[in-house]
Structure 1
Amino acid sequence: MKRLALLTVLLLLTAPAAGATTVHRPTEYVVSTTPGDTLEGIAVTPGGTMYVTSVGSGAVYRGDTRTSHLTPFLAPGSDGRTSATGIHVDRWGRVLIAGASTSKLFLYDAHGRLLAVRKAADGSFLNDFTIAGDAVYVTDSAHNQLWRAPLTAAGLGELEPWITRDRIQPTPYFLNGIVTNGKVLLIGEQGQDVTYRVDLRTKQVSVVNVPNGILSGDGYLLEGHRLYAVYNAGAGKYVTRFAQLNDDFTTATLIADSSPGAAGATPTTIARDRGRLLWVNSQLDVAPGTPPYTVSVVPGLR
Structure 2
Amino acid sequence: MKTIVTTAVAAVTALAAIVPQPAPGQRRPGTYVVSRDPGTRPEGIAVARDGAMYVTSVSDGAVYRGHVHDRELRPFLPGGADGRTRAAGVRLDRHGRILVAGWDTGALFVHAPDGRLLARRVAAGAALNDLAVTDDAVYVTDSAGGGLWRAEVADGWVGDLVPWVPATAFPAAPGFLNGIVVTDDGRVALVADQGTGEPGSERLWRVDLVGRTASVVEVAGGQLGADGLLLDGDRLYGVVNFPDGAGGWSFAVNLALLDAGRRTARVVAQSRPTGLDQSPTTIARDAGRLLWVNSQLNATAPAPPFTVTEVPGLR
Q: TM-score with structure 2 length normalisation?
A: 0.87
CA distance in 1, matches of 2:300, 2:241: 14
Alignment of 1:185 with 2:194, yes or no, is no
CA distance in 1, matches of 2:298, 2:237: 21
Deviation at 1:172? 0.7
SS of alignment partner, residue 79 of structure 1: helix
SS of alignment partner, residue 271 of structure 1: strand
Give the gaps of 5 or more residues in structure 2.
Answer: 1-22, 196-200
Contact persistence 2:93–2:134 (CA under 8 A): no
Contact persistence 2:251–2:280 (CA under 8 A): yes
1:156-189 deviation digits (Å, cap 9, x = unpaired): 1001111111221221110000001122100000
1:218: which partner in 2?
A: 227
Deviation at 1:259? 0.3
1:121 equivalent among 112, 124, 127: 124
CA distance in 2, matches of 1:63, 1:148: 29
1:20-55 deviation digits (Å, cap 9, x = unpaired): 964311100000111111110000011111000000
Deviating 4+ runs (over 3 angstroms): 20-23
1:234-253 deviation digits (Å, cap 9, x = unpaired): 53210000001011111111
Matched to 1:210, the amino acid is V
1:136: which partner in 2?
A: 138
1:110-130 deviation digits (Å, cap 9, x = unpaired): 1000000000013x1100010
CA distance in 1, matches of 2:71, 2:24: 19
1:197-241 deviation digits (Å, cap 9, x = unpaired): 011221221111113232220000001111000002353210000
CA distance in 2, matches of 1:119, 1:83: 13
Contact persistence 1:36–1:57 (CA under 8 A): no
Deviation at 1:288? 7.1
Aligned-pair identity (%): 50
Larger radius of gyration: 1
Alignment of 1:278 with 2:291, yes or no, is yes
1:82-129 deviation digits (Å, cap 9, x = unpaired): 00000011100110000011100000001000000000013x110001
Contact persistence 1:83–1:102 (CA under 8 A): yes
CA distance in 1, matches of 2:301, 2:62: 15
SS of alignment partner, residue 284 of structure 1: coil
Single out whichever of 21-30 and 236-245 deviates more from structure 2.
Answer: 21-30
TM-aligned CA distance change 1:239 to 1:150, over 3 Å: same
Q: TM-score with structure 1 length normalisation?
A: 0.90
Q: What is the root-mean-square deviation of aligned Cα atoms in Å?
A: 1.4
Q: Greater helix share, 1 or 2? A: 1
SS of alignment partner, residue 263 of structure 2: coil
Deviation at 1:77? 0.4
